[in-house]
């Protein structure tokens, strides 16, 4: 039996969950903008404080401070949404991967099982079921958001 390629298998598996994956990407992009925006707001507040008359402190600092606090609260809600998305993506994706791999394993010949240790095969199945969602999370969280932030 011909060995299938990994990349098409991964993309086919992820295509079943494309809306959840896109939701994660959107959260990562918003987070990337936040990584640059909040420090800039702090810079604005510090710049305004350098030559600040104490009587005008409230008027000059209230808007950037309120925007900073609002963005912080929005990011807390956004990360809770990210957790919600991850909880709706990770277990079904792992289940889907496990079922696809087990269907493939059931089509293998007797000769295949005589020459492969069952423990090694089960470890490979477990590694695929946990590895693909973990790689997806690393790719979105680290790679996409950090590149956009830079």
pLDDT tens digits along 104-127 = 998 988 898 888 888 999 999 999
Question: How is residue 83 written in tokens?
Answer: 């957790």
Q: Is the dihedral of CA 75, 77, 80, 81 positive or negative?
A: negative
pTM: 0.79
Q: pLDDT at residue 8 above 60? A: yes
Rounded Cα distance between 132 and 128, Å, is 6
Rounded Cα distance between 20 and 3, Å, is 29
Of 3, 37, 23, nearest to 87 (Cα)?
A: 23
Give the pLDDT score at 19.
Answer: 96
Q: How confident is the model at residue 3 (pLDDT cuts 50, 70, 90)?
A: low
Q: pLDDT at residue 44 above 90? A: no
The mean predicted confidence, pLDDT, of the chain is 89
Give the pLDDT score at 4.
Answer: 66
pLDDT average, residue stretch 26-55:
87
Asked if 105 and 121 touch (Cβ cutoff 8 Å), the reply is yes
Rounded Cα distance between 130 and 109, Å, is 26
Asked if 2 and 108 touch (Cβ cutoff 8 Å), the reply is no
Q: Which residues lie closer than 8 Å to 125 by C-beta, 6 or more apart?
A: 98, 101, 102, 105
Rounded Cα distance between 9 and 121, Å, is 18
């Amino acid at each position: 039996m011909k060995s299938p390629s990994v990349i098409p298998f991964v993309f086919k598996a992820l295509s079943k969950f494309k809306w959840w994956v896109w939701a994660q990407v959107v959260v990562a992009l918003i987070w990337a903008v936040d990584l640059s925006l909040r420090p800039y707001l702090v810079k604005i507040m510090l710049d305004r404080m350098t030559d600040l008359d104490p009587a005008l402190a409230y008027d000059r600092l209230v808007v950037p401070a309120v925007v900073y606090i609002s963005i912080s609260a929005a990011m807390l809600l956004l990360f809770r949404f990210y957790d919600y998305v991850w909880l709706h993506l990770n277990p079904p994706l792992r289940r889907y991967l496990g079922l696809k791999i087990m269907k493939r394993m059931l089509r293998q010949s007797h000769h295949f099982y005589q020459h492969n240790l069952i423990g090694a095969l089960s470890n490979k199945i477990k590694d695929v079921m946990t590895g693909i969602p973990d790689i997806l999370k690393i790719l979105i969280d680290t790679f996409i958001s950090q590149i956009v932030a830079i």
